């Protein structure tokens, strides 16, 4: 295979993944002007070790689409280490936190992309590590990502719809029903340490989710981003066209769980914790750089809750 063919196949795969997951067809590059500054870093004397997974065909990595996330956390005092091997108890034991974003079963063969990204053994290892005191942030966009991460999510009693969720009554922008606003005004931003923060300055008031799915957790889980009764899951064909809709009432796009001595947060899409530029062309802010929202503080609060700073 020539380098030109390899590059072309990569771009085709990326395009197909974006279409299947209900996202804009743009490349969504990290915003070079985003400022990941943290006024008062949470960890100035100690640095919690954070494993950032890049071993499972992850579409978002710490040096590309999730560079703003990685930079922000390192500025907050975390020690971020990239993982490029299967999960084992031995490798996880030296870490306090594990972040998994948009893992895939395969990044070459589209037919295999939706296969489980993790082996049954890896799922058991991660579950047991969390139960004994570890903290997991699991993020999956709709489409193949949700299907690839489903077996790990089920370890914690979480079901992923895999379909793009829309709510025209609470969309952040007109004619973009999958871009959902959670605020104090619409009462969809529920009370939880993640939404309250450590002080009044860290309290969230407006959060936007960009083209995510719906999540259903166990009874003791807290859905702090509550989907309204008007929300619906949209089944899409391979061309992206809607084929059917299902009510999404009673579900969430942000879920917090306590599992044994550990903690888990599951989020319905990745862009909300990054800072990207998209269409048209590569100028539209997507994520923490979107104006007049608290997604940057959301990112910090999620990690502070997982690391135990927020009770």
pLDDT score recorded for residue 106: 86
Residue 86 gets which letter from DSSP?
-
| SS3 state at 131 | helix
pLDDT > 70? residue 274: yes
Enumerate residues 6+ apart whose C-beta is below 8 A from 197. 203, 204, 297, 301, 304, 310
Q: Is 161 exposed, middle or buried (0-12, 13-18, 19+ CB in 10 A)?
A: buried
CA end-to-end span of the chain? 53
- Residue 124 neighbours by CB under 8 Å, 6+ apart: 155
Q: What is the pLDDT of residue 182?
A: 98
Q: Is the pLDDT at 200 greater than 80, yes or no?
A: yes
Q: What is the separation of C-alpha 210 from the centre of its chain, rounded to a whole number of angstroms?
A: 10
pTM to 2 decimals?
0.91
Enumerate domains of the chain plus CATH numbers.
3-306 (3.40.50.880)
pLDDT tens per residue across span 104-141: 998 767 777 789 999 999 999 999 999 999 999 999 99
| Average pLDDT score, the chain | 90
pLDDT given for residue 225 in this prediction: 98
In percent, the amount of the chain with pLDDT more than 70 equals 87
Residue 19: per-residue pLDDT: 39
Given this model, what pLDDT does residue 14 score?
A: 46
| Average of per-residue pLDDT across 44-66 | 96
């Amino acid at each position: 295979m020539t380098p030109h063919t390899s590059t072309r196949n990569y771009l085709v795969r990326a395009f197909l993944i974006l279409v299947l997951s209900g996202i804009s067809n743009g490349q969504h590059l990290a915003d070079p002007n985003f400022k990941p500054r943290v006024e008062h870093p949470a960890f100035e004397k100690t640095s919690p070790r954070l494993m950032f997974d890049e071993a499972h065909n992850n579409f978002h990595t710490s040096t590309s689409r999730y560079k703003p996330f990685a930079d922000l956390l390192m500025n907050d005092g975390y020690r971020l280490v990239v993982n490029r091997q299967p999960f084992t108890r031995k490798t996880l034991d030296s870490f306090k936190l594990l972040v998994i974003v948009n893992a895939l079963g395969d990044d070459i063969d589209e037919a295999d992309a939706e296969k489980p990204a993790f082996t049954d053994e890896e799922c058991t290892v991660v579950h047991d590590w969390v139960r004994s005191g570890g903290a997991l942030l699991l993020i999956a966009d709709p489409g193949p990502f949700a299907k690839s991460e489903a077996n790990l999510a089920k370890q914690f009693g979480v079901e992923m719809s895999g379909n793009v969720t829309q709510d025209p009554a609470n969309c952040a922008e007109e004619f973009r029903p999958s871009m959902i606003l959670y605020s104090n005004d619409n009462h969809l931003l529920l009370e939880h340490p993640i939404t309250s923060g450590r002080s009044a300055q860290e309290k969230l008031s407006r959060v936007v989710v960009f083209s995510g799915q719906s999540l259903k957790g166990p009874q003791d889980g807290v859905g702090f981003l509550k989907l309204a009764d008007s929300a619906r899951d949209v089944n899409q064909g391979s061309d992206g066209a809607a084929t059917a809709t299902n009510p999404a009432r009673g579900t969430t796009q942000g879920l917090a769980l306590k599992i044994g001595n550990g903690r888990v947060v599951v989020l319905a899409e990745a862009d909300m914790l990054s800072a990207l530029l998209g269409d048209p062309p590569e100028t539209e802010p997507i994520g923490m750089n979107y104006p007049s929202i608290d997604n940057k503080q959301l990112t910090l609060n999620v990690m502070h809750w997982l690391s135990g700073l927020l009770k």
